[in-house]
Structure 1
């Protein structure tokens, strides 16, 4: 098997899971690189070496595709795709990025759950406050209503801040991935 076909096969394997049209466009682009190199008198092995490691190229394409999807449509699936793409691109930095990401994500999740529980508790207390069944309020229904509304709105606020924080962290990861991608591209010009 020739160097061109081995390169394209490795690249195709690394791009598995991406939309078929994206994979075909990328393979056509790299096939054109080989055709131009052959027209310039270079061998296929020289062209493959100049293009770099197809596995690394596939990781870069996957990261960029995930980031574009996240920017186009902000959804949980696209956020996970962007995170996985950035972590795949930053494989060498995995020992630094992953523990920090897991710690920040765990704290964010804990605050999210706490906020949801506080909001739920306030929502459950509201009907009881309205009929003065909450103990300790001595029939002062207004105080019970205000406390339950305060808990519900405070919990909802915590959940909203956690959601905004999560979006911010995802955007930082995308910026990190792009900066990392630019550094790799500058260090290994194709």
Structure 2
């Protein structure tokens, strides 16, 4: 594979990353080619040593998604990290994706239930004293506050579980599929200096 073919395939695989990030990555790989050519290697040898550009692009996009999750910890970053890891194609999607979708669906259902419980509690707290709630107005207010507090607790607990789920998926990918930094950073060899007597 020539340098131009490698870079074109790499650029194609990096579509979706921010432009500056993609340009920096391409510049790094251009430098790899320049260094290899300066060392007397052919473009084909350098390309073979760097590996499949499409796989490199998937790994780099996955790493970008994982780094974004590590920095932001929001639903958008979580989705980006999950889809980036699944996009590697390294995880058996036929097994993992249905399991993941079931867990995500269950968590989403519980989130909706917590939101509904919060609004029901608010409705009981506000309307209960005026509609003859059993136990009187104070019982209605306390019952409404209790339901709202329970909903907030369930929502917080589900948020923690969701963060653990995303972190677990990232951990699984890093553990099982040479992700990512160790595979992308060049190995450094300690320099040997001779001591003169």
Where on the TM-score scale, by shorter chain, does this alignment land: which range? Answer: 0.7 to 0.9
5 Å-filtered alignment, 1:73-92, equals 73-92=72-91
For normalisation by structure 2, the TM-score amounts to 0.84
Q: How far is 1:127 from its partner?
A: 1.5
Q: How far is 1:181 from its partner?
A: 4.3
Aligned residues: 186
Q: For 2:185 and 2:42, how far apart are their aligned partners in 1?
A: 18
For normalisation by structure 1, the TM-score amounts to 0.87
5 Å-filtered alignment, 1:92-103, equals 92-103=91-102
Structure 2 counterpart of 1:53: 52
Q: How far is 1:156 from its partner?
A: 1.7
Q: How far is 1:10 from its partner?
A: 0.3
Corresponding residue SS for 1:158: helix
User: Hey, which bits of structure 1, 4+ residues long, moved more than 3 A?
Assistant: 183-190
Q: How far is 1:185 from its partner?
A: 8.1
Q: For 1:177 and 1:162, how far apart are their aligned partners in 2?
A: 23
Q: How far is 1:40 from its partner?
A: 2.1
Q: How far is 1:177 from its partner?
A: 2.8
Does the aligned pair in 1 maintain the 2:17–2:61 contact within 8 Å?
yes
Structure 2 counterpart of 1:153: 149
Q: For 1:107 and 1:67, how far apart are their aligned partners in 2?
A: 23
Structure 1 counterpart of 2:21: 22
Stretches of structure 1 that go unaligned for 5 or more consecutive residues are none
Q: For 2:82 and 2:102, how far apart are their aligned partners in 1?
A: 15
Corresponding residue SS for 1:182: coil
Structure 1 counterpart of 2:162: 166
Higher relative contact order (CA 8 A, sep 6+): 1
Does the aligned pair in 2 maintain the 1:89–1:177 contact within 8 Å?
no
Corresponding residue SS for 1:42: coil
Aligned-pair Cα RMSD in Å: 2.4
Structure having the larger proportion of residues in helix: 1
Q: How far is 1:187 from its partner?
A: 8.7
Corresponding residue SS for 1:119: helix
